[in-house]
């Protein structure tokens, strides 16, 4: 009988230990509510018994809920260049959620202190070797290189592709640049020529005289006469296309 009781005791010890281990996983949630009494309770005289608190004196108005209160921006010092944020040594002020998850945890930034500002400041050699003209230049390069630029040319009149054609096509897609920033291929592109319809070529767009984006362009012919227009191609950028020029042809600067 004693042996059976010992066995039963050992069997029931395990679930109790499991329950204890589960309770240790609970995390405390720290919240603060600032309240104000709706009705002020009456004061009592010195050395007299306080008045009994009525129910209405326990009614409170919520003044502030710190859980939903907008937290102020955090200032950090960047350890290296971060696209869309800044360069090494810059002190930036951003939302706490972004700072914690995108800058502090990956080790791209440190808290804004005089010691960190001096530690991560750019040296003279780093200042002279400019790699990025701005925090958003590389993002612009990535966006330009991700699109297929439709270059619409006249189907009825002779033309020669010039930088202003690319400038107008970029403006239609929301990019504004000057003609001096556009570099066309070395080979001349002339038309109209329906053999060149829906074929690709590349041009280069220079940003801030430093970064360069290689933009994929696709040639289309358009006529002012509705009866002479080519059939409309829906979402042409998703279709496969052939190169207009020989592969690896150099480019010329305009």
What CATH number does the domain containing 154 carry? 3.10.430.100
- Percent of the chain whose pLDDT exceeds 70: 85
Mark which of 92, 109, 128 sits at the end of a domain. 128
**Are residues 154 and 179 part of one domain?**
yes
Residue 51 within a domain: no
- Percent of the chain whose pLDDT exceeds 90: 50
Give the count of domains, the chain. Answer: 2
Residue 56 within a domain: no
Residue 2 within a domain: no
**Are residues 169 and 123 part of one domain?**
no
Q: Can you tell me the mean pLDDT for 8-17?
A: 49
**Are residues 95 and 158 part of one domain?**
no
What pLDDT does 135 receive? 83
**Are residues 182 and 224 part of one domain?**
yes
Mark which of 107, 128, 149 sits at the end of a domain. 128
What pLDDT does 254 receive? 42
DSSP per-residue letters across the chain:
-HHHHHHHHHHHHHHHHHHHHHHTT-------EEEEESSPPPP--TTSPPPPPPGGGG-EEEEEETTTSPPPPEEEEESS-BTTTB-TT-EEEE-HHHIIIIIITTTSEEE--HHHHHHTPPPHHHHHS---SSTTHHHHHHHHHTSEEEEEEESSS-EE--HHHHHHHHHHTT----GGGEE-BSS--EE--GGGTT-EEEEEEEETTTEEEEEEEEEEEE-SSGGGPPPPPTTGGGS---BSS-TT--B---
pLDDT by residue (tens digit) across 65-100? 887 878 899 999 999 989 889 888 899 999 999 999
- State which residues form the domain around 163: 136-238
**Are residues 163 and 121 part of one domain?**
no
Does the pLDDT value for residue 176 go beyond 50?
Answer: yes
Residue 44 within a domain: no
**Are residues 224 and 163 part of one domain?**
yes
């Amino acid at each position: 009988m004693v042996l059976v009781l010992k066995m039963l005791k050992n069997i029931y010890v395990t679930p109790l230990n499991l329950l204890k281990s589960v309770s240790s996983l609970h995390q405390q949630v720290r919240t603060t509510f600032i309240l104000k009494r709706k009705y002020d309770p009456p004061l009592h005289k010195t050395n007299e018994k306080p008045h009994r608190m009525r129910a209405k004196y326990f009614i409170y108005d919520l003044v502030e809920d710190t859980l939903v209160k907008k937290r102020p921006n955090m200032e950090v010092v960047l350890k290296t260049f971060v696209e869309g944020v800044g360069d090494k040594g810059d002190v930036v002020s951003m939302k706490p959620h972004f700072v914690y998850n995108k800058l502090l945890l990956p080790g791209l930034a440190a808290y804004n202190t005089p010691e960190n500002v001096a530690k991560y400041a750019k040296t003279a050699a780093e200042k002279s070797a400019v790699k990025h003209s701005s925090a958003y230049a590389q993002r612009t390069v990535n966006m330009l290189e991700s699109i297929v630029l439709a270059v619409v040319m006249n189907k009825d009149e002779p033309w020669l592709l010039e930088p202003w054609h690319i400038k107008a096509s970029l403006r239609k897609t929301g990019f504004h640049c000057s003609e001096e920033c556009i570099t066309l291929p070395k080979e001349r592109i002339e038309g109209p020529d329906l053999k060149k319809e829906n074929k690709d070529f590349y041009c280069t767009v220079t940003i801030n005289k430093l970064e360069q984006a290689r933009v994929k362009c696709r040639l289309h012919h358009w006529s002012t006469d509705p009866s002479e227009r080519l059939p409309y191609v829906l979402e042409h950028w998703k279709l496969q296309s052939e190169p207009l020029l020989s592969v690896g042809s150099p480019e010329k600067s305009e």
